[in-house]
Amino acid sequence: MMTSVRKPPSKTSIQALSAIARYRHQRRFGRVWLIGDRRVSSATVASLERAAFLKEIAVNGNSVLVITDQGKRVIADGGKAV
């Protein structure tokens, strides 16, 4: 029997998730996302989407990042439990 073991999220991913949770205003600016006073690369956002920690949705034609329930658990646990 094979079990799938997920790798815990990196420190950068956890910091990006907490910035998305903390700041309301986010926008894509070229190859990076401006989230509050932080710049998060599109690759980091894409990996968080693949891990199902967040979703990118469009609201009135603007892209917005929304944290899923699994992403909220990662923020609360500090990345220890996936």
What digits encode the pLDDT tens for the residues 8-48?
A: 888 989 999 999 999 988 999 989 999 988 999 999 999 99
Q: Of 41, 40, 46, which is closest to residue 20 (Cα–Cα)?
A: 40
Q: Which residues pair with residue 36 across a beta bridge? A: none
pTM above 0.95, yes or no: no
CA distance between the termini of the chain = 21
More confident residue, 28 or 4: 28
- The answer to whether the CB of 16 falls within 8 A of the CB of 35 is yes
Q: Is 76 helix (H, G, I), strand (E, B) or coil?
A: helix
pLDDT, tens digit, 9 for 90 and up, residues 56-73: 999 898 899 999 999 999
Q: What is the pLDDT of residue 40?
A: 94
pLDDT for position 34: 94
pLDDT at 20: 93
**Single-letter residue type at 74:** V
Q: Which of 33, 30, 31, 26 is nearest to 59 (CA)?
A: 26
Domain range annotation of the chain: 25-77
